[in-house]
Amino acid sequence: MFKPVESSVFDRIIAHPPYIPALKDTLIFKDAGLDGERISTDLIRGISSHLSDGGEFYGYLTFSDRVDAPAELRVRELLGVDEQEFDVSLLIVEEKSPDAFLLRRPGADPSSEENQRLGVAFKKLGITRFLSTVLTIRSRRGALPITSRHRAVSWQTAAGMAQLDHV
């Protein structure tokens, strides 16, 4: 992922990689492996070598919660041996069950053989939820790492919650 800039270090890295699960990669701008994370995981694995101290990564991507670990801990593991040098913050914009994902998959018949094969793959991978996220990773060498997970709310929801506080 970082081969063209292999010796460079950045203060900011911003990415919106392809994130749609697919049986085979046919559209480079969309398809990202069986779980939709192939490109995102390659990107995250390279961050520790390319993010300056105090630097930040921002990405809009899909990750999944799994039977064995929630998405934010899986992201932390992808950072490798230096994972304690980074804060990881996941803002969940939308979440879908694997079945809901397959029902609303763009351009696919919900009962197609492709959807059935993807459903089997999701079960084998232990996927419990697909999360559309804004992921922030901040390099903080020498500080205690923070891992957080939050759910995004619309301004209408936030305004409604504020009104309830005054009742």
Residue 68 carries which side chain, given as an amino acid letter? D
Domain that includes residue 58, residue range: 3-165
- pLDDT in the model for residue 124: 93
Max CA pair span of the chain: 57
Nearest to 88 by CA among 48, 148, 37: 148
User: What parts of the chain have a pLDDT lower than 50?
Assistant: 166-167
- pLDDT in the model for residue 78: 92
Residue 135 CA to residue 15 CA, distance in Å, equals 10
- pLDDT in the model for residue 125: 92
- pLDDT in the model for residue 65: 93
- pLDDT in the model for residue 160: 53
- Across 24-85, the runs of DSSP E, i.e. the strands, are 51-66
Looking up tokens 């990107």, which residue turns up?
43
Counting the structural domains of the chain, the total is: 1
Contact yes or no for 114/122 (Cβ under 8 A): no
Beta bridge partners of 13: 57
List all residues 6 or more positions away from 94 whose beta carbon is below 8 Å from its beta carbon: 131, 132
- pLDDT in the model for residue 30: 66
List all residues 6 or more positions away from 112 whose beta carbon is below 8 Å from its beta carbon: none
Nearest to 78 by CA among 160, 147, 156, 165: 147
